[in-house]
Amino acid sequence: MPELPEVETVKRSLEPYLAGEKITGVEIYYGGIVKEPEPAVFRALVQDKEIKSLGRRGKYLLLNLSGDLTLVIHLRMTGRLTVTDRAQPVDKHTHLIFRLSGEKELRFTDVRKFGLVYLVPTGCWNSIGGLFTLGPEPLEEEFTLACLHEKVERKKNTKLKNFLLDQREIAGIGNIYADEILFEAGLHPERPLATLTPEEIKRLFCAIRSRLGAGVESRGTSFRDYVDGTGAKGNFQNELKVYGRGGEPCGKCGTQLVKSVVAGRGTVFCPRCQS
């Protein structure tokens, strides 16, 4: 699933093509992807709207339209949102197409059909539970060391990996970056938050900022489905220290990396470097 760095990269890559464009038509090939409102109303409401700006909140992409409306898009597992020439053949997994005034198209393709699209009044996220309850953005000023201390104090009995994956606590972290963050911080994924010292909380805070920032800088992690808004792959897969490397030697100490299941997700860590 695309995480904060991937969705931020999609946003940045689409911005030059979409900002200021008008939506001149909509094709909905799979109505199940449009969650709100129902497809016919959705089509009518976005017709002739200008894309004023793009934003991101956690793993959600936000297209702010004229008329105080926002397209809220979640790519989920296999979703791709790309801008293409109109002459390009339509992929069989394309479920939604926005025709743009500049003779290009914005296409949503999704092999597994898990993606979500909403059209709501700008700022009115209460009907989108996953967006409405998001925690702070970890790369913004609102996320401070004091903020992390407060959250750790409140969730004492929670395991570290579970905590990082909880979007209500910190927005945008998924399985890839959780493993990378914990490795950089030198913390075991099953450590209860109550056992963390102030120094370890500081290391965790710095690792969250560092690894997510590096992911954005490298334009995300591409293994299978993820590409940016122009169809280009990211590069962070070349910088991964533990994720997807179970059984390989640790790059720091040489110990074999362990793969286990934590918080219901495949998890890789170094049993020597992470305690």
Instruction: Please work out, in degrees rounded to the nearest 5, the angle formed at the alpha carbon of residue 143 by the alpha carbons of 210 and 154.
Output: 110
Q: Are 175 and 220 in contact (CB under 8 A)?
A: no
Residues marked active site are found at 2-3, 59, 265
Distance in angstroms (rounded) separating the CA atoms of residues 221 and 171: 18
- What are the distances in angstroms from CA 178 to CA 49, 80, 236, 267? 38, 22, 14, 9
Cα dihedral 147, 150, 154, 157, rounded to 10, equals 90
Q: How many CB atoms lie within 10 A of CB 275?
A: 11
